[in-house]
Amino acid sequence: MKNLNFKRTYLLGLTFVAVLQSCSKDTDSLEQQTEVAEAQELAISEAFENELYECGYVDGNWSSTAYLSSSIGTSSETNFMQTQNSKIAAVWGRPAVPLSFVKDNSNPNSTYNAISYGSGKIYYGEAIYNAAKAQGQIANVMILAHEFAHQLQFTYGYPSKNESTARAAELEADGMAGYYLRRPNGYNKTSFSQIATAYEFAASIGDNNTTSPGHHGRSYQRRSAVRLGFLLGAYDLNAASFDYNFFYYYNGVLNGSYKQEKSEYFNAELDKYIRSYAKELQKISNGEMSDEEYFNLD
Ligand SMILES: [Zn+2]
């Protein structure tokens, strides 16, 4: 998820400081500022120590009883997530942004969310963490890489493709996650089937409400986006090159035709490679590929 409005996110940040100082819970005014809060159900979670803030109202994107924490699960789990956070940024040649966790002991399910803020931070809910962990930690890596992709979008003004919903941004973020999972200096998974569970999890939180501003793309589109990102991960790309190539091929897959313009980021060898997967990508995004076939792709 991406908090799309930078100004608003910045204001939320200021409000957050004010609320921290007063320890009050003025939820009404904050809730009005909430932008892309996704409501979700899913069981889970317990309380933990080592909280970052004791009086922790987080912001309008989270419940009034939610609080920030510097830890998630065991200390090795926390280290794992923080290490991944640094690595993801490094793969894109960027400094990492602060990663904090959001917990809510009275309403644990309310933290089934992860948010990337335009002010340069990621808040990661305990409930979504636990749900993803049940799929294997790679699912958490995928979500984190997706959230960091939104940071790249904030920084560079991506996606270069504009749509009326958040779909292009969300699909690109999925693609960037797939790219990270493959890169040798990233999560280094060389076979697509190794990251299938992460994909499945992403698809399960996709939605089919195509007019909603928070639309993440249909699950088939998300599947093809992550697959394309994974394929692009055969090459060492910077963020600009990824953005260009992702939409160059993604549009081709969706429309059955390729954009004609070639930029400095066009790479003939990469082009040959991706085009050899064009039919397959089309099949995925059209929903014509079976789960079995998808999860066994190389
Ligand atoms: Zn997102």
Ligand 1 centroid to 2 CA: how many Å?
5
Angle between helices 167-182 and 196-204 (to 10 degrees): 160
- Report pLDDT digits (tens) over 194-210: 887 777 765 565 444 44
Query: 106-120, 221-235, 243-257: which range is least confident on average?
Result: 243-257
Could you tell me whether strands 99-103 and 121-125 are parallel, antiparallel, or unpaired per DSSP bridges? parallel
For ligand 1, a single-atom ion, the residues with CB < 5 A are: 1-2, 170, 173
User: Rounded distance, CA 91 to CA 179, Å?
Assistant: 10
**Res. 54 pLDDT band, cuts 50 70 90:** very low
**pLDDT at res. 11:** 30
* CB contact at 8 A, 35 and 62: no
Ligand 1 centroid to 216 CA: how many Å?
7
**pLDDT at res. 1:** 61
pLDDT score of 262 more than 90: no
Ligand 1 centroid to 113 CA: how many Å?
10
Between 44 and 283, name the one with better pLDDT: 283
Ligand 1 centroid to 5 CA: how many Å?
13
Ligand 1 centroid to 268 CA: how many Å?
30
Residue 123's DSSP bridge partners are: 100, 115
Average pLDDT on 156-174 reads 86
**Res. 2 pLDDT band, cuts 50 70 90:** low
Ligand 1 centroid to 3 CA: how many Å?
8
Ligand 1 centroid to 1 CA: how many Å?
3
Q: How far is CA 199 from the centre of its chain?
A: 12
Ligand 1 centroid to 64 CA: how many Å?
22
Ligand 1 centroid to 90 CA: how many Å?
20
Ligand 1 centroid to 34 CA: how many Å?
16
Of the candidates 274, 271, 278, the one whose C-alpha atom is nearest the C-alpha of residue 255 is: 278
**pLDDT at res. 118:** 94
Ligand 1 centroid to 235 CA: how many Å?
24
pLDDT score of 71 more than 90: yes
Ligand 1 centroid to 147 CA: how many Å?
6
User: Rounded distance, CA 290 to CA 111, Å?
Assistant: 32
Ligand 1 centroid to 276 CA: how many Å?
28
ipTM over the 0.95 cut-off: yes
- Report pLDDT digits (tens) over 231-252: 999 999 999 999 999 999 988 7
pLDDT score of 61 more than 70: yes
pLDDT score of 91 more than 60: yes
Ligand 1 centroid to 73 CA: how many Å?
23
Helix, strand, coil: what percent of the chain each, to 5?
50, 5, 40
- The rounded mean pLDDT for the chain is 78
Of the candidates 112, 208, 228, 197, the one whose C-alpha atom is nearest the C-alpha of residue 167 is: 208
Ligand 1 centroid to 49 CA: how many Å?
29
